[in-house]
Amino acid sequence: MTPAAQTDELLGTPWPFGRADLTAGLRRHLGDATIQVTEVRPLTMIHRRPSVGRIQGLRVEFQSQRGPQSIRLVVKEPLGTTRMGLAGVGRREVGVYQSLAGQLPVSTPALIAAGPLGDWLLLEAITPGRDASRWEAVDYDTAIDSLVRLHDRFWDLGEDLATFPWLSRPLEADFEVHVTAAAQAIERIVQFGEPAVLAASPDRLRVLALLTESADRIVRPLRAQAATLLHGDYWPGNIAVLRNRSQVVYDWQLAAVGPGIIDLLVFISKSQWWFGDLPVPAKELIGRYRERVATDIGVTWEQEAWDLLWDHALMWRFLQEWVDLLAATPDAVLQTRGDQLDRVWLDPVAVAVARRLGAE
């Protein structure tokens, strides 16, 4: 029997990694060169939300000088890129775990092994103490404090982060890719008349057109801010609250360089999208972030300047992510979330456009 056949017999066909990858990763992670993998079994993942790519739980049984043992892991298989022309999301996440995890002021899962191109990652399984939908006010406050620590660690180090070319740079090198994707999405919306929530509204189509036409104006104030390391998708669904209330941050596949306000906007808007009213009002979360930035980093904004940045971050994030997403979402799905879509995105974006782009 060939080594490849032995691997197939041991691991089965679903796994993208080989026995050698798994064994070497466990030996390195556990500091035990005697480890020999004996069995790999799939596990049902309970705490999961929709994500890009394939995520599976597994239990690995192994023998070592300490006797029989087991460990729970997660294998991720990211799909493609966030946009055509950008670094693969898997490559980006592997880069964070391999090159930046030691510098991060937040806890992350341990990387056990990964494919050379980031097409798969093996990570330690983290079991949250409770689901993200059941977060309490203290959990939101802790997450905001952790976000400030992350931003503080890399504040105004945009040039230094150039060392890591796999990081996304949505306001700089990747800007045209995002704008082109949004423009193409708008063309599809007009051509096919879907989703109706946009295509059937001349006012909303005008807002979409103005967003793409004014993309340079939208990002101008954001580019003027100090750049830092962004998680890119920082929200409760990507943060595990453990039983001792500590938090572990995962899913770094959208890691980027840009102004910290974008991470804060994503945290609040995505939490509202999934959970509706939060135990801490958005205004208080924003206030906590600003207070901690002022204390820890020494940076403050006048209210008028902050309001302008928030409007521009809102318009940019909608243009960067949601236009393309809405164009690909069936009407039936959007109809079930119509009120949420209006409240979290469409109405606030329309107000921001009228306030900031109404006149040249």
Amino acid at 228: T
Identify whether the C-beta of residue 234 lies closer than 8 Å to the C-beta of residue 252.
no
Residue 208 in 3-state DSSP? helix
User: Mind listing the pLDDT tens digit for each residue in 219-246?
Assistant: 999 999 999 999 999 999 999 999 999 9
Q: What CA–CA distance (Å, rounded) separates 2 from 11?
A: 14
pLDDT value of residue 81: 47
Give 340's DSSP letter. H
User: Mind listing the pLDDT tens digit for each residue in 186-201?
Assistant: 999 999 999 999 999 9
Give the chain's length.
Answer: 360
DSSP alpha helices (H): ranges in the chain? Answer: 3-11, 19-30, 89-95, 137-153, 175-192, 196-199, 202-213, 215-223, 261-275, 282-296, 303-317, 323-327, 331-336, 338-341, 347-356
Taking the CA of residue 74 as centre, how many other CA atoms within 13 Å lie in the half-sphere pointing to its CB?
21
Structure-token match 């164009």, residue found: 327
pLDDT value of residue 184: 95
Out of 78-87, 174-183, 234-243, which region has the weakest mean confidence (pLDDT)?
Answer: 78-87
Identify whether the C-beta of residue 74 lies closer than 8 Å to the C-beta of residue 57.
yes
Q: What CA–CA distance (Å, rounded) separates 58 from 73?
A: 5
User: Mind listing the pLDDT tens digit for each residue in 294-305?
Assistant: 999 999 999 999
Q: At what angle do helices 303-317 and 261-275 cross, to 10 degrees?
A: 60
User: Mind listing the pLDDT tens digit for each residue in 107-152?
Assistant: 999 999 999 889 999 999 998 998 999 999 999 999 999 999 999 9
pTM above 0.85, yes or no: yes
Higher-confidence residue of 50 and 43: namely 43
pLDDT value of residue 83: 52
